[in-house]
Every structure is written in C-alpha cells, then in structure tokens.
Structure 1
Amino acid sequence: MGSESPSAQYIHMVQHLIEECIVFNMSIEECMEALEKHANIKPVITSTVWKELEKENKEFFEAYAKKREEGRFNSDSESSQRQRIHDIVSESTMKNSNDDDKS
C-alpha cells in the first residue's frame, strides 16, 4: 500500500472498517452511524464505499441482506460492537499515521 495515494489509502481504510461492521452484522445505516461517531467518516463516504462493495460482491450482499432480514445472526451487544469499532478505528488510524511517517 506504500505507493497508493492518500485518497486510495483512505478508501481502503473505510472499506476495511465496513468489512468489520459486516462481521458484526450491521446494516448500512448502523455502519454509517458507527463510522461517523468513532472515525469521523462522513456517512456519504461510508455509503458510497458500501454501495461500490455491493456492486462488486452482489451475491454476498444479497445473501447478507437476506440473513439480516431473517434475523439469523447472533449479534454481540451494542457496547461490544461500539468498542470493537473504536478499537479497529484506532488501529487503522495508528497504522496510517505510521505509514505516513515512513513516506
């Protein structure tokens, strides 16, 4: 990733955080809210990246939406989700900061 532009690195960080939200079975709305609150990522950015991921992985997202509708996920408590997102954002921010220092 060292040769990527800062904007490409940012998009990849948002993508990684969205993937973590998906691990916690969050909806796009929950993900936008969590990333705005814990990572200062504007909802429009999260939504745009999420929608691009949906285009690239149509079958996965269709199955994901169906499982969410059927309530087949065993979700963690909300506080556990918030703490995990906070930890992931902190790790990503520190990693990006360290990568910038090496440049």
Structure 2
Amino acid sequence: MGSESPSAQYIHMVQHLIEECIVFNMSKEECMEALEKHANIKPVITSTVWNELEKENKEFFDAYSKKREERRFDSDGETSQRQRIRDVVSESTVKNSNDDDKS
C-alpha cells in the first residue's frame, strides 16, 4: 500500500470501513451515515465505493441483501412478538390494578 497514491489509499480505507459495516449487517444507508458521523467521510464517497464493490461482487451483495431482508422480517416478527407480550403484561397489570381498587 506504500506505493499507492493518497487517493487510492483513501479509497482502500473507505472500502475497509464499508467491510466493517457489512460485518455489523448495516445497510448502505446506515453505513453512509455511520462513516459520515464517525469517520467524517462524505456520504457520496461511501456510496460510490459501495456501488463499485457491488459491481465487483454481485453475488455476494445479492446474498447479503437477501440475508438482510430475511433478518428484517425475523426482527419484525420478534418486535411484534415483544410488543404483544408487553400488551399482555400491560393489560394484566391494568386488570390487577382495577381488581385491587374493587377490593
């Protein structure tokens, strides 16, 4: 990497940071936001490098997108299940409170 131009080094750094975002299962938009906030990298740079990575690794990104979608639906199910549990607990708490008031 020592013989690379500063701009090539910068692009490789952005690529590495994008790969870190992927490890954390982040979307392109989440990655752009995180790199802007934590590494002061303009979203257009992150987006451009991400798009190039997608072109070079189409099969990987297709599988990655599919996996993210499946996880999103799984987490939506978990979220709605957690919400149902909260609703049941809340209803139970309100019912018990009302029963206590009648005593």
Same fold judged by TM-score > 0.5? yes
Q: Which residue matches 1:43?
A: 43
How much does 1:33 deviate? 0.2
Q: Which residue matches 1:79?
A: none
Q: TM-score, normalised by structure 1?
A: 0.69
Letter in 1 for 2:51: K
Residue 2 of structure 1: SS of its match in structure 2?
coil
Deviation string, structure 1 residues 39-86 (Cα, Å, up to 9, x no partner): 0000000000000000000000000000000117xxxxxxxxxxxxxx
Tell me if 1:16 matches 2:16: yes
Between structure 1 and structure 2, the one with the greater Rg is: 2
CA RMSD of aligned residues (A): 1.7
Q: Which has the higher helix share?
A: 2
Tell me if 1:64 matches 2:54: no
How much does 1:27 deviate? 0.1
Deviating beyond 4 angstroms after TM superposition, the runs of 4 or more aligned structure 1 residues are: none
Kindly tell me the number of residue pairs found equivalent between the two proteins: 74
> Relative contact order (C-alpha < 8 Å, sep 6+): which is higher?
1
Letter in 2 for 1:47: S
Q: Which residue matches 2:83?
A: none
> For residues 67 and 23 of structure 2, what CA distance do their matches in structure 1 show?
13
> For residues 14 and 53 of structure 1, what CA distance do their matches in structure 2 show?
11
Residue 71 of structure 1: SS of its match in structure 2?
helix
Q: Percent identity?
A: 93
Point out where structure 1 has 5 or more consecutive residues left out of the alignment.
73-103
How much does 1:14 deviate? 0.0
> For residues 4 and 67 of structure 1, what CA distance do their matches in structure 2 show?
35
> For residues 13 and 69 of structure 2, what CA distance do their matches in structure 1 show?
27
How much does 1:22 deviate? 0.1
How much does 1:32 deviate? 0.1
